Amino acid sequence: MPTLFDPVTLGDIRCANRIIMAPMTRSRANEEDAPTEMNALYYGQRASAGMIITEGVYPNFDGKGYVRTPGIVTEAQIAGWKLVADAVHAKGGKIVMQIMHCGRITSRHNKPEDSRTLAPSTIQAKGEMMTDAAGMVAFEVPEAMTMAEIKQSIADYGQATKNALAAGCDGVELHCTSGYLPAQFLSTGTNQRDDDYGGSLDNRLRFVIEVLNAMTEAAGAGRVGIRICPGNPFNDLSDENPEETFRALIDRINPMGLAYLHVIRAKAGVDNIELSKSFDGPVILNESYVLDNGNRAIAKGLADAISFGKPFIANPDLPEKFRAGAELKAPDFATMYVPGPKGYVDYD
Ligand SMILES: Cc1cc2nc3c(=O)[nH]c(=O)nc-3n(C[C@H](O)[C@H](O)[C@H](O)COP(=O)(O)O)c2cc1C
Protein residues whose CB sits closer than 6 Å to any atom of ligand 1: 22-25, 55-56, 98, 175, 227, 264, 286-289, 308-311, 336
How does pLDDT run across 123-146, given as a tens digit for each residue?
999 999 999 999 999 999 999 999
Decide if 42 is catalytic.
Answer: no
Q: What is the pTM of this model?
A: 0.98
pLDDT above 80: residue 248: yes
Residues written for the chain: 348
- How many angstroms separate the first and last alpha carbons of the chain? 31
Q: How far apart (Å, rounded) are the C-alpha atoms in residues 139 and 146?
A: 21
Q: Residue 203: which H helix or E strand, with range?
A: helix 201-219
| Residue 58 DSSP code | B
Contacts of residue 72, defined as CB under 8 A and 6 or more positions apart, other chains included, come to 57, 58, 59, 78, 81, 97, 99, 160, 163, 164, 167
Average pLDDT, the chain: 97
pLDDT band with cut points at 50, 70 and 90 for residue 172:
very high
Contacts of residue 326, defined as CB under 8 A and 6 or more positions apart, other chains included, come to 320
Kindly list the structural domains of the chain, giving each domain's residue range(s) and its CATH number in brackets, ordered by start: 8-335 (3.20.20.70)
| Residue 33 DSSP code | S
E-strand stretches of the chain: 8-10, 13-15, 19-21, 51-57, 95-99, 118-119, 128-131, 135-138, 143-144, 171-175, 224-228, 260-264, 283-286, 305-308
For ligand 1, the distance from its centroid to the CA atom of residue 21, given in whole angstroms, is 10
pLDDT above 80: residue 81: yes
Strand 143-144 with 171-175, pairing: unpaired
For ligand 1, the distance from its centroid to the CA atom of residue 290, given in whole angstroms, is 15
Other beta carbons within 10 angstroms of residue 118's beta carbon come to: 24
Is the separation of the CB atoms in 67 and 29 below 8 Å?
no
User: Distances in Å between the alpha carbon of 159 and those of 129, 256, 257?
Assistant: 28, 19, 20
Q: How far apart (Å, rounded) are the C-alpha atoms in residues 337 and 188?
A: 31
Percent of the chain past pLDDT 70, that is, above it, reads 100
Beta partners for residue 15, in sequence order? 8
For ligand 1, the distance from its centroid to the CA atom of residue 146, given in whole angstroms, is 31
pLDDT band with cut points at 50, 70 and 90 for residue 318:
very high
User: Which residue's CA is minimally distant from atom 28 of ligand 1?
Assistant: 24
pLDDT band with cut points at 50, 70 and 90 for residue 26:
very high
Is the separation of the CB atoms in 50 and 17 below 8 Å?
yes
